Amino acid sequence: MDVDLLIHAAALVTVLAALLMWLLLYTRLSAPLNRQLTAAAETGEVLPNGRALQVKWDSLIDARAALQGIAVAASCVVLLA
């Protein structure tokens, strides 16, 4: 098997895996937090656990950004391979 084809395939798998992990992280953890925080902001309600929700959301953003960065970098490898 050609080395370029292996690199191309590995990069494609990396893109897919990173984006699927990002989607899972977002739908399972970030989106529910976003809904709670947005609903409270729209109604002017002060959440008793608002600070904890924000800390949890903040802790997830680095992982989500890293996964997107990995997906973009692997996409570049696909384009260049």
Which residues, 6+ apart, have CB-to-CB distance to 26 below 8 Å?
Answer: 64
Instruction: Give the pair of three-digit tokens for residue 58.
Output: 């903040």
The pLDDT tens digits for 24-40 are: 999 999 999 999 999 99
The separation between CA 14 and the C-alpha centre of its own chain, rounded to angstroms, equals 14
Six token digits for residue 24:
């899972």
Q: What is the domain count for the chain?
A: 1
* Owning domain of residue 40: 3-80
Task: List, for residues 52-81, the tens digit of each pLDDT value.
Answer: 999 999 999 999 999 999 999 999 999 987
Name residues whose C-beta falls within 8 Å of residue 22's C-beta, 6 or more positions apart in sequence.
Answer: 64, 67, 68, 71
Confidence class of residue 16 from pLDDT cuts 50, 70 and 90?
very high
